[in-house]
Amino acid sequence: MTDTRDDTVISIVGLTKRFNGRTVVDDVALEVRRGEIVGFLGPNGSGKTTTIRMICGLLKPDSGSGTCLGLDILTQSTLIKREVGYMTQRFSFYEDLTIRENLDFVARVYDLDDRQKRVAETIARLGLERRRDQLAGSLSGGWKQRLALAASVMHQPKLLLLDEPTAGVDPQARREFWDEIHRLAAEGLTVLVSTHYMDEAERCHRIVYIAYGRIVARGTVAEVIDRSGLSTIVVSGANVNRIAALVRGRDGVEQVAPFGNDLHVVGPDAALLKQAVDAAVAEVGGGVTAVPGATGLEDVFIRLMQQASVEDRAGNGRRP
Amino acid sequence: MNATSAFSFSRVLAMMIKEFIQLKRDRMTFAMILAIPVMQLVLFGYAINTDPKRLPTLVTSTENGPEVRAVITALATSRYFALQPGFVSEAEASRALVDGSAAYVISIPPGFGRDLARGLRPQLLIEADATDPSASANALAALPEILASALSTVLTGPLAAEAASASPVDLVIHRRFNPEGVTAYNIVPGLLGTILTMTTILMTALALTRERERGTLENLMATPATPLEIMIGKIVPYIGIGTVQVAIIIVCARVLFAVPMQGSLMLLIGITFLFIAANVTLGYTFSTIAKTQMQAMQMTFFWFLPSILLSGFMFPFRGMPDWAQTLGVVLPLTHYIRSVRGIMLKGSGPADLVGEIWPLAAFWLAVGTIALLRYRRTLD
């Protein structure tokens, strides 16, 4: 990295959006550097989509400012649109056009040179040569998503915004999708991807967690887990259900979640947590083992969400 | 279990309640359901009159004796004819019939009073704009009676016998532009405009709402495409389709109904283009207002209804009360129908149709401006 300023792709501060008096995005600041894959996480309705739409000029912020690819997000959205690829949550290409016709449309809208060659290359890269004259509407969810991704990057954007791209897609297609994202990022594409899948968050270089319109955590996955200060004890054995009933609500215990045959007990204070679990184990009279475990991103997010919901002002009216 | 397979009123009720709630949520549909019957009632009840009165009438005459004045007074009091004060030249009268500003021209020959007094049964020429046979029929039918009673007051003394005879004047009626009074000559050109109104507005009204409903609009808006580019790109194909429709109707008008083509085909094509452009732009404006395809269709219907009723297509324009005529003047179909009838039946030229062309152009401009203002660059 030569000059850090040149590397900044998204730089926004104080971004706020209200719909009918309800603050949906509240004072959001975001910095994304070139080649980064940033995961944008948060529960449903937390303002992820709204923030992404403001970055690519589909919504006008009520306040805040910033740049995207060095262009002002408030005044230069037309120029931003040329350099940004945006993949919407719902498949938003034309189901009654064929794959080739869809790509051809996109190529024309972006005024691409060598249009036919670009379209043919894109189809080849997708491995869809034989199905190129098939209607996009007849593709499976996974293929639709691959087509949408290919169409979104055909004009070689510098920034790719993905809004919950893998909703309703099978695990293999999801894996391939993420491999493709990493390949594109390695070529210098910057990616901001919203998701609420934890395994996908872990595939990002960096994550930003937004709840009720406000950013509540950011950093690498390890940093976010670390900063949460949560400890986890994994209980396994025959009586985990009784343990679960016993520890729930005790001092030092915040989350009790069964994972298959195991029970994850999570709390902010390691000593208090161990005390509570040990007491419960003693009460059921053994038959279980309790060992310290790794705190997962999901545990952290559930905690962040609960904290944010307590802090969320009543007037804001957002429900989890 | 029996309860699940048998007819269940509870399930029917569930459907009914759901449908009603959805209907209630769709404000636009709800408004249309209430507005359309009211509009129909008002238009059919008050605006439509198949027996038009006070049709603009010009008189050409070289004399102004008591007999002539009696004829004019009688025509005026019959309420079928609205006589313009004074006399006009034959050229002016003919021009007025072609451009549609007069429905009748009454030509009183020189020596009318003298010949009448001598019992020579002078000719009285009535030229009627018969492009719409139903509009002129009643007035023409009433004419002999009107004249006879008018002249009976003038022809007194020895001439009273003359007045009592079947007709003291030789009434010559020229049904101009449609001498046989063929209804198809009137309907087919009108149909051209009506079909274009329905199809072009509907097709473009669905254009944006379809993208919105299918979720493709968001994608489109994230591309560098500007509102003007999108609007032109959406409108032009439908102008093309409208043109094909026009070609089909004109060919059918000739082949099936033998509707004459008196005027210039190029002029007709030019005005048709303007009319289609105005309509697709209106449809596009609906498209920017309606949230769903359903609403867009309703708005189209809401526009279509007064268009066919108030434009002079179905019912004589001059038969409508002033308020309805004012509404009718705003509609592009009114001006288009007048233009098409003018060109095909009367051979009207551009100069005759200026009064129809500029309202079409003004409408197009106004609606286009609204469409561009309405289209949002963002999803706000």
Residue spans of the domains in chain B: they are 55-176, 183-374
The C-alpha R_g of chain B, in whole angstroms, comes to: 27
If you average pLDDT over residues A19-30, what whole number do you get?
92
Three-state DSSP class for residue A232: strand
Instruction: Determine the topology of domain B55-176 in CATH.
Output: abc type-2 transporter like fold (3.40.1710)
Domains of chain A: 4-220 (3.40.50.300), 231-294 (3.30.70.100)
The DSSP result for B221-287, as a single string, is HHSS--HHHHHHHHHHHHHHHHHHHHHHHHHHHHHTT-----S-HHHHHHHHHHHHHHHHHHHHHHH
Alpha-carbon gap, residue A106 to A100, rounded angstroms: 10
If you average pLDDT over residues A92-100, what whole number do you get?
93
Name the residue in chain B with its Cα closest to that of A107. Answer: B223
Burial A239-254 (b: 16+ CB within 10 A, else e): bbeebbebbeebebbb
**Which uninterrupted H or E stretch holds A204?**
none
Measured in whole angstroms, how far is the alpha carbon of residue B207 from the centre of its chain? 27
Name the residue in chain B with its Cα closest to that of A96. Answer: B214
Q: B378 to chain A, minimum CA–CA distance in Å?
A: 4
Q: Given strand B104-108, what is the order of strands in its sheet?
A: B81-83, B55-61, B104-108, B123-129, B170-176
Which of B303, B287, B302 lies closest to B209 in space, CA to CA?
Answer: B287
- Which of A20-34, A294-308, B20-34, B296-310 is predicted least confidently? B20-34
**The pair of three-digit structure tokens given for residue A252, joined into one six-digit string:** 């030092």
Residues of B in contact with A53 (CB under 8 A): 379
Q: What pLDDT does residue A137 have?
A: 92
Contact B150, B71 (CB under 8 A): yes
- Predicted confidence (pLDDT) at residue A270 exceeds the cutoff of 60: yes
Alpha-carbon gap, residue B98 to B342, rounded angstroms: 7
If you average pLDDT over residues A175-190, what whole number do you get?
92
* Chain B CB within 8 Å of residue A156 CB: no
The structure's pTM equals 0.78
Residue spans of chain B under pLDDT 70: 1-4, 155-166, 376-380
Q: B294 to chain A, minimum CA–CA distance in Å?
A: 20
- Predicted confidence (pLDDT) at residue A180 exceeds the cutoff of 70: yes
Burial class of residue A290, CB neighbours in 10 A (0-12, 13-18, 19+): buried
Burial A202-216 (b: 16+ CB within 10 A, else e): ebbbbbbbbbbbbbb
Q: Which residues have a Cβ under 8 Å from the Cβ of B345 and sit 6 or more positions away?
A: B131, B177, B178, B185, B186, B189, B259, B260, B262
Contact B71, B124 (CB under 8 A): yes
Rounded to the nearest 5 degrees, what angle is found at the Cα of A202, between the Cα atoms of A196 and A206? 95
**Which uninterrupted H or E stretch holds A194?**
strand A190-195
- Predicted confidence (pLDDT) at residue A228 exceeds the cutoff of 70: yes
Q: A81 to chain B, minimum CA–CA distance in Å?
A: 5
Say which of B214, B221, B225 has its CB closest to residue A58.
B221
Alpha-carbon gap, residue B328 to B334, rounded angstroms: 6
Question: Are A110 and B224 a contacting pair at CB < 8 A?
Answer: yes
ipTM above 0.95, yes or no: no
Measured in whole angstroms, how far is the alpha carbon of residue A74 from the centre of its chain? 24
Question: Are B377 and A77 a contacting pair at CB < 8 A?
Answer: yes
Q: What pLDDT does residue B164 have?
A: 55
Phi, psi of B211 (to 5 degrees): -65, -40
Alpha-carbon gap, residue B278 to B263, rounded angstroms: 23
Question: Are B216 and A92 a contacting pair at CB < 8 A?
Answer: yes
Strands A190-195, A22-33: pairing is unpaired
Query: Can you state the angle between helices B265-289 and B183-214, rounded to 10 degrees?
Result: 30
Burial B254-277 (b: 16+ CB within 10 A, else e): eeeeebbeebeeebbebbbebbbb
Name the residue in chain B with its Cα closest to that of A88. Answer: B219
What whole-number percentage of chain A has pLDDT above 70?
Answer: 95
- Predicted confidence (pLDDT) at residue A216 exceeds the cutoff of 50: yes
Residue A3: band (very low, low, confident or very high) from pLDDT cuts 50, 70, 90: very low
The DSSP call for residue B38 is: H
Q: What pLDDT does residue B37 have?
A: 84
Contact A62, A16 (CB under 8 A): yes
Say which of B214, B216, B378 has its CB closest to residue A58.
B378
Which has more confidence, A33 or B179? A33
Q: What pLDDT does residue A152 have?
A: 93
Residues of B numbered 194-253 whose beta carbons fall under 8 angstroms of chain A's beta carbons: which are they? 214-226
Q: A197 to chain B, minimum CA–CA distance in Å?
A: 23
- Predicted confidence (pLDDT) at residue A4 exceeds the cutoff of 50: no
Three-state DSSP class for residue A89: coil
Alpha-carbon gap, residue A158 to A246, rounded angstroms: 53
Say which of A58, A93, A111 has its CB closest to residue B216.
A93
Q: Which residues have a Cβ under 8 Å from the Cβ of A275 and sit 6 or more positions away?
A: A251, A252
Which has more confidence, A97 or A310? A97
Q: A97 to chain B, minimum CA–CA distance in Å?
A: 12
Residue located via tokens 């286009």: B368
Size of interface A-B (CB pairs under 8 A): 50
- Predicted confidence (pLDDT) at residue A155 exceeds the cutoff of 50: yes
Q: B209 to chain A, minimum CA–CA distance in Å?
A: 14
Which of B119, B196, B185 lies closest to B151 in space, CA to CA?
Answer: B119
Which of A193, A210, A159 lies closest to A45 in space, CA to CA?
Answer: A210
Question: Are B379 and A82 a contacting pair at CB < 8 A?
Answer: no
Q: What pLDDT does residue A190 have?
A: 96
Alpha-carbon gap, residue A235 to A279, rounded angstroms: 13
**Which uninterrupted H or E stretch holds A52?**
helix A48-55
Mutate to test the interface with B, among A52, A58, A71 (most CBs of B within 10 A): A58
Q: What pLDDT does residue A5 have?
A: 52
Where does residue A160 fall: left (phi above 0), alpha (psi -120 to 50 degrees), or beta otherwise?
beta
Burial class of residue A144, CB neighbours in 10 A (0-12, 13-18, 19+): buried
From residue A106, give the alpha-carbon distance in Å to each of A82, A115, A122, A146, B377.
12, 10, 12, 15, 18
**Which uninterrupted H or E stretch holds A23?**
strand A22-33
Say which of A78, A82, A88 has its CB closest to residue B219.
A88
3-state SS of B195-240 is HHHHHHHHHHHHHHHHHHHHCHHHHHHHCCCCHHHHHHHHHHHHHH
Residue A317: band (very low, low, confident or very high) from pLDDT cuts 50, 70, 90: very low
What is the rounded average pLDDT for all residues in chain A?
88
Alpha-carbon gap, residue B346 to A99, rounded angstroms: 53
Residue located via tokens 């545990």: A299
